[in-house]
């Protein structure tokens, strides 16, 4: 479409050189329109020049007259051409084309927020997706999706898909489809010990959306945020982008050591994973939970409880949520369906104390009207008809077997060389390397043996970080896990 | 579940008063667990107290021993109880329950962003949804969804629903499902004159998400933003929340009068609706478009082009986008499927110049992983298989008839009393009331006649705003429109 035209040649010659493509998906009149527009914008056809008549140009280019007439009409509609009664069609006089085109691409100035973003390490996640897959990948967050009852899910989706045009076409409530909020509230009360009404439950596109909204509502630049280290970088990155002063506290085998929070802390927000510390593992005992709530009362702080995989415990009962102990509404509870149903669902939920509910919804209404009603209706039925809890039981059994296989293999091949949390929970295990082993060396040696494991350094805010390796097991079979750990053992021993 | 227990009575009596509900969805052991937990947290069962044996409590409450054992086990797991070999089960000593429960609900301190949010008028949209529907509602943004080819849409969704588990379970790319981005790029080039590659197209949950991300990337508190008045409050609210200094310029019949931008403006961002000024109507002619680009070059400013309904013109050709004239990458193009397909789809797109692409995606990755792949795949097919353009033609015909009916009725019943844009485009008409008519009076009188029309004041940044009324017609039939305008005429004449 773009042409190279000598500017010294005559107008009929210029137009005769136009090359239109009759095979293109773009109609001929639009190709002609775009070509003439381009000539005008580049100054090749200067202001005031008279164009050939429809008839003349049509015969010159071998086009139908209606094609030329349509192109001229659009150019007139848009102000490139003017017609003067009896005199013909002219390039408009008023066009200000000098200064266009610019040569150098424009570089916008970024805000302080944007500048902080540019200093973050870009996630290498997309890069990983494009590199060749290793034989055995201990990636974290891969759901073992063959377990998911797709037949049930399809039936539930089809129920709404066929029944109801309105279900397809309506905007949902910004807080989420009410039956889903009620189903989530019921589930959380029953199985997670959360105290909530359906009204306090807001459906979000992901934990990240909830963190983003809460951060902007609660954080000014320079405000302190208490976080665990190692910790969840997805949250810490967001707090950083809002200019928060991150105050990391190293966790032990029982989560955040509340008694070691420095008395001088200025934190107004604490982000914690009490059910299963991410990524180290380990649950916060009751005494610490109560102490954390007391600390927050004294501090005037809000607590964000990320219960990202609280359902997934493989021995004993799932521990109930910190939120259930909260007596004055300072705990915000965050939960997700991505791990326990499937990632592409893109549905999470947040349970908000009353004073945060309206500001949260008002913010959400401004930036995102909510998830498709169809999906929400299907998930609501998935919960209320008992499929969800049945699926959870299945997940606990399958993931529990995988975790048991993983720890058995670790004990067989890496005894004495690594430490990890004894809590049988979650979808990954964090290995702390003993005896001065190097994390990078282990990752690289394992890769050469066809096994991808993940460095722990990005999760640690301590410098230097204790050498560690993250192993996700939810996307692997038992025999893959066993083979992978055997090879990891070889990598660690330098074989 | 919550009990009222006198604290002076003996332990066996307290426990005997527990009322469990065998009919509840919550298992008995969990009811017992929660009841005992509550007694401990409230200090009714103090630290160190010995509990009855499993057997004793089971027989006292008429429960199975395993039920009591499970409740005790969970209470032990969570640290409420401790067992001492041979001595029995005790309330844990270490619990710090003083200070709990708090009486007054906690009120978090809001950030400056949050405080600005609290000063915005909350949207009354949700309120409107719950008030009784008027007979005839000229609501804006209601799509005439009976036109939508649901049969085709169902077939496309079903295609992926049945074929491919991976399609259901995979995370999509944060930028959107690639075939959809390619389909949108092709469509925009063909029909909107946008210059873009598939890579520059990013799928977002809505225009609002794009505005939110761009604002945080580009705006510092106090930065100037040039906006049209009347204008799109959804955008202006977001700029305000980021602390921008809003610089409104009243539009005329041809959009933003670029020649009247004050030379002293500090705006670094301009938000414009050149194809069909929102909400007044009217298109920006070429000369003004070129002048706006020149202004932005001189100013170092980014232009946000909101082409919210550029496809919907009912006479002549759709005007091509401002973005197509941009030669140095300073125009960001925003488009949506909500108006032209159906609202619940929650898919929009943004075409980004190269330097903004990575920062935009990096931000989006942090806050939202993207729309369900299934829906995106179906929309991609809807476009590439020609359904979209066929549907657009149908919409243009149907909406064009409705707009013609509306203007004919206006001319019949309100001639001389209102002015409105002559451009046959869009899904609404903004009436400017003549002869000192009061906007509130007209809205109220119309409501009494069963017709809901919308005050124009919220769209104007001028004070006082010219009295005006917004009429959306996309959700009404021709006969509803005619009846509605006849009654509006009575309201205006004060009959």
Neighbours of A66 (CB within 10 A): 13
What's the gap in Å between the CA of B195 and the closest CA on chain A?
11
What CA–CA distance (Å, rounded) separates A95 from A80? 8
What CA–CA distance (Å, rounded) separates B451 from B133? 10
- The per-residue DSSP string of A417-458 comes to TEE-----BSSEEEEEEPTT--HHHHHHHHHHTTEE-EESGG
Q: Which whole number is the average pLDDT over A293-312? A: 92
Contact status, residue A203 vs residue A360, Cβ threshold 8 Å: no
In this prediction, residue B7 has a pLDDT band, given cuts at 50, 70 and 90, of: very low
> Is A100 in Cβ contact with B355 (below 8 Å)?
no
What CA–CA distance (Å, rounded) separates B25 from B21? 9
For residue B123, give the DSSP letter: P
Helix, strand, coil fractions of chain B, as percent rounded to 5: 45, 15, 40
- pLDDT of A6 > 60? The answer is no
> Is A161 in Cβ contact with B158 (below 8 Å)?
yes
Neighbours of A162 (CB within 10 A): 11
Res A423: pLDDT? 86
> Is A110 in Cβ contact with B218 (below 8 Å)?
yes
Contact status, residue A103 vs residue A42, Cβ threshold 8 Å: no
Res B122: pLDDT? 59
C-alpha separations of A283 from A350, B63, B97 in Å: 21, 30, 19
By percentage, how much of chain A surpasses pLDDT 90? 52
Res B235: pLDDT? 96
CATH of A125-142+391-493 among 3.90.1150.10, 3.40.640.10, 3.40.50.150, 3.40.1670.10: 3.90.1150.10
Q: Which whole number is the average pLDDT over B118-142? A: 69
Res A160: pLDDT? 80
Return the CATH architecture of domain A148-385. Answer: 3-Layer(aba) Sandwich (3.40)
The tens digit of pLDDT for each residue in A333-381 reads 999 887 777 666 778 999 999 999 999 999 999 998 777 788 888 899 9
Res A96: pLDDT? 59
> Is B30 in Cβ contact with A190 (below 8 Å)?
yes
**In this complex, which of A25, A158, A354 lies closest to B105 when CB atoms are compared?**
A354
Res B487: pLDDT? 96
φ, ψ of residue B128 in degrees (nearest 5):
-60, -35
Res B385: pLDDT? 93
The tens digit of pLDDT for each residue in A70-120 reads 999 888 888 889 888 888 899 888 775 554 555 677 888 899 889 988 888
For residue B482, give the DSSP letter: H
A 331-350 residues with CB below 8 A of B?
342-346
Ramachandran quadrant class, B430 (left: phi over 0; alpha: psi -120 to 50; beta: rest)? beta
In this prediction, residue B5 has a pLDDT band, given cuts at 50, 70 and 90, of: very low
Q: Which whole number is the average pLDDT over B203-209? A: 92
Angle between helical axes of A207-218 and A233-241 (0-180°, round to 10): 30
Alpha helices in B368-477 (DSSP H): 373-384, 387-414, 439-448
φ, ψ of residue B137 in degrees (nearest 5):
-115, 110
Higher pLDDT, A16 or A287: A287
Of these ranges, B121-130, B189-198, B476-485, the one predicted with the greatest mean pLDDT is B476-485
Domain positions in chain A are 11-91, 125-142+391-493, 148-385
C-alpha separations of B96 from A242, B41, B260 in Å: 34, 9, 68
* Best residue of A172, A325, A366, A475 to probe chain B, by most B CBs closer than 10 Å: A366
Counting one residue from chain A and one from chain B, the pairs whose CB atoms sit within 8 A come to 309
What's the gap in Å between the CA of B287 and the closest CA on chain A?
5
Res A34: pLDDT? 86
- pLDDT of A478 > 80? The answer is yes
Q: Which of B170, B378, B129, B211 is nearest to A175 (CA)?
A: B129
Tokens of residue A418, six digits: 């690594």
Domain A11-91 falls under CATH 1.20.1080.10:
no
A 383-442 residues with CB below 8 A of B?
none
Res A173: pLDDT? 83
Tokens 């898909």 -> residue: A161
The tens digit of pLDDT for each residue in A415-463 reads 999 999 988 889 999 999 998 889 999 999 999 999 999 999 999 998 8
Q: pTM for the full model? A: 0.87
Neighbours of A257 (CB within 10 A): 16
Res B131: pLDDT? 58
Kindly report whether the peptide bond that precedes residue B90 is cis, defined as omega within 30 degrees of 0. Answer: no
In this prediction, residue B100 has a pLDDT band, given cuts at 50, 70 and 90, of: low
**In this complex, which of A95, A107, A329 lies closest to B105 when CB atoms are compared?**
A329
The tens digit of pLDDT for each residue in A162-199 reads 666 666 666 668 999 999 999 999 999 888 889 999 99
Q: Which residues of B touch A206 (CB under 8 A)?
A: 367-369
What's the gap in Å between the CA of A54 and the closest CA on chain B?
18
Alpha helices in A219-353 (DSSP H): 233-241, 286-299
Mean pLDDT in chain B?
87
Res B167: pLDDT? 64
> How many residues would you count in chain A?
495
> Is A171 in Cβ contact with B150 (below 8 Å)?
no
Q: Which whole number is the average pLDDT over B265-269? A: 93
CATH of segment(s) B149-385 = 3.40.640.10
What CA–CA distance (Å, rounded) separates B235 from B244? 12
Angle between helical axes of A373-384 and A178-192 (0-180°, round to 10): 40
Return the CATH architecture of domain B125-142+390-492. Answer: Alpha-Beta Complex (3.90)
Contact status, residue B325 vs residue B289, Cβ threshold 8 Å: yes
What's the gap in Å between the CA of B228 and the closest CA on chain A?
19
> Is B108 in Cβ contact with A218 (below 8 Å)?
yes
In this prediction, residue B6 has a pLDDT band, given cuts at 50, 70 and 90, of: very low
> How large is the ipTM?
0.85
Strand partners, B455: B469
In this prediction, residue A126 has a pLDDT band, given cuts at 50, 70 and 90, of: very low
Strand partners, A313: A425
What's the gap in Å between the CA of A452 and the closest CA on chain B?
20
Res A1: pLDDT? 39
- The per-residue DSSP string of B298-338 comes to HHT-EEEEE-TTTT-BSSSPPPPPGGGG-SSS-EEEEEEST
Is residue B131 helix, strand or coil?
Answer: coil
> Is A77 in Cβ contact with B319 (below 8 Å)?
yes
**In this complex, which of A102, A112, A358 lies closest to B220 when CB atoms are compared?**
A112
């Amino acid at each position: 479409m773009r042409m190279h035209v000598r500017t010294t040649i005559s107008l009929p010659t210029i137009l005769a050189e136009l090359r239109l493509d009759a095979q293109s998906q773009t109609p001929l009149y639009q190709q002609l329109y775009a070509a003439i527009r381009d000539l005008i914008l580049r100054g090749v056809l200067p202001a005031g020049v008279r164009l050939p008549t429809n008839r003349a140009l049509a015969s010159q280019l071998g086009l139908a007259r209606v094609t030329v007439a349509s192109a001229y009409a659009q150019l007139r509609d848009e102000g490139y051409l003017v017609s003067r009664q009896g005199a013909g069609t002219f390039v408009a006089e008023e066009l200000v084309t000098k200064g266009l085109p610019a040569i150098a691409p424009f570089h916008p100035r970024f805000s302080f927020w944007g500048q902080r973003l540019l200093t973050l390490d870009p996630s290498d996640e997309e890069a990983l997706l494009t590199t060749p897959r290793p034989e055995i990948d201990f990636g974290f967050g891969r759901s073992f999706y063959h377990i998911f009852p797709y037949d049930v899910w399809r039936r539930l989706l089809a129920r709404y898909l066929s029944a109801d045009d309105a279900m397809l076409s309506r905007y949902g409530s910004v807080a989420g489809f009410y039956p889903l909020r009620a189903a989530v509230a019921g589930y959380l009360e029953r199985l997670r010990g959360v105290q909530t009404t359906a009204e306090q439950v807001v459906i979000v596109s992901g934990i990240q959306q909830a963190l983003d909204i809460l951060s902007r509502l609660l954080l000014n630049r320079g405000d302190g945020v208490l976080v665990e280290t190692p910790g969840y970088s997805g949250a810490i990155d967001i707090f950083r982008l809002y200019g928060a002063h991150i105050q990391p506290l190293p966790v032990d085998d029982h989560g955040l050591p509340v008694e070691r929070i420095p008395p001088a802390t200025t934190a107004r927000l604490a982000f914690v994973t009490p059910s299963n510390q991410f990524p180290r593992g380990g649950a916060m005992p009751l005494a610490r939970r109560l102490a954390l709530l007391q600390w927050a009362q004294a501090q005037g702080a809000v607590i964000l409880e990320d219960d990202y995989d609280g359902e997934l415990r493989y021995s004993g009962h799932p521990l109930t949520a910190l939120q259930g102990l909260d007596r004055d509404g300072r705990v915000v509870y965050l939960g997700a369906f991505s791990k326990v149903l499937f990632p592409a669902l893109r549905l999470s939920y947040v349970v908000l104390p009353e004073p945060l509910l309206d500001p949260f919804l008002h913010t959400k209404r401004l930036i995102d009207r909510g998830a498709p009603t169809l999906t929400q209706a299907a998930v609501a039925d998935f919960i209320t008809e008992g499929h969800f809890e049945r699926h959870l039981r299945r997940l606990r059994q399958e993931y529990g077997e995988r975790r048991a296989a993983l720890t058995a293999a670790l004990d067989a091949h890496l005894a004495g060389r690594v430490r990890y949390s004894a809590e049988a929970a979650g979808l990954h295990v964090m290995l702390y390397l003993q005896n001065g082993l190097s994390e990078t060396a282990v990752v690289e040696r394992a890769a050469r043996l066809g096994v991808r494991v993940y460095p722990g350094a990005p999760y640690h805010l301590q410098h230097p970080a204790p050498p560690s390796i993250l192993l996700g097991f939810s996307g692997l079979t038992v025999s893959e896990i066993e083979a992978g750990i055997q090879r990891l053992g070889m990598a660690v021993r330098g074989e």
